[in-house]
Structure 1
């Protein structure tokens, strides 16, 4: 069993952010889990990756990208949480009805699955979302991505009843402790 340190990425770690994303896009279920392909991502310039890392680092507002590190500093996995403010429009153009977090970019290296990395990542991601007042945290997952569906259920996420038929995806959410699932609205989160 591994021990993980979970922390926000730093802008100067853009090359590691890129490498982990490219590895994620080679995963056997990447076509179900992500909205971009390996070929699209590998063609992006370094400035894109620098901006992406800076947008999720500890000093950024609006998003936080977490990584789980092993004792030797290797990145075992990642998750990003986007701030979705009530009254705003999310990245997909849907109205956001209440303050919430949107989880995107979830990936754990195969050799770290089942070893506690995903739990450590989601503990940090949810704590961060609750710390700025999110009423819930939601994500979108493909109906055929059984591994992800089972994982999110185990982490406390439940289907909300919102479905995105064009991509065969469903929304799942976990409510802030003390709230009942289904209070308030929903919006689309991103590539999970």
Structure 2
């Protein structure tokens, strides 16, 4: 394990869209990307600047979405996680219906050189803390690919447990994503 580092974890600012784009493209180049993300590098790289500007503009102060970044002492973005609020009765990303108000963590990525340094813990503390600050959020959930044991181990260590929910991976119905949940303390 690498040495712990102190990170400043904060919400993305709207004017930081080029950095949002760069970090997302780095995530999609990672060897784990095929089992970690539903988007390809080619699809993301082809998106116009307007897409990235809109994505960054919605992330800093929204009540339904917030993207957090872990910034190292050198100002480099070590990683990111996005928290989405899902309202009861709305459609879920896998075609079901959301049963309760909850937060859904997506887009989890930490650069390889920052893994094991505390960045992921700091990001999750911020995202989960934000979710608990919202009225009526009963749980935080995420999905993890069955072929991503490193991510599964971190999520379990953080306190997430499998809910029993399983979804086929879009575009690859032979693979599964497991739903993991963290209930409000």
Q: Deviations over 1:121-143 (max 9, x none)?
A: 00000110011031000001100
Q: Take 2:104 and 2:143, find their aligned partners in 1: how far apart are those partners?
A: 9
Q: What pairs up with 1:81-96 in 2 under 5 angstroms?
A: 81-96=83-98
Indicate the structure with greater strand content.
2
Report the equivalent of 1:172: 180
Q: Deviations over 1:134-156 (max 9, x none)?
A: 10000011001011111111111
Q: Take 2:113 and 2:32, find their aligned partners in 1: how far apart are those partners?
A: 16
Q: Secondary structure at the match of 1:25?
A: helix
Report the equivalent of 2:158: 155
Q: Take 2:162 and 2:22, find their aligned partners in 1: how far apart are those partners?
A: 31
Alpha-carbon RMSD: 1.0
TM-score (norm 2): 0.92
Q: 5+ residue gaps in structure 2?
A: none
Q: Take 2:146 and 2:98, find their aligned partners in 1: how far apart are those partners?
A: 23
Matched, 1:129 2:123: no
Q: What pairs up with 1:114-125 in 2 under 5 angstroms?
A: 114-125=116-127
Deviation at 1:91, TM superposition (A): 3.7
Q: Take 2:47 and 2:165, find their aligned partners in 1: how far apart are those partners?
A: 32
TM-score (norm 1): 0.89
Q: Secondary structure at the match of 1:161?
A: strand
Paired positions, count:
176
Report the equivalent of 1:24: 27
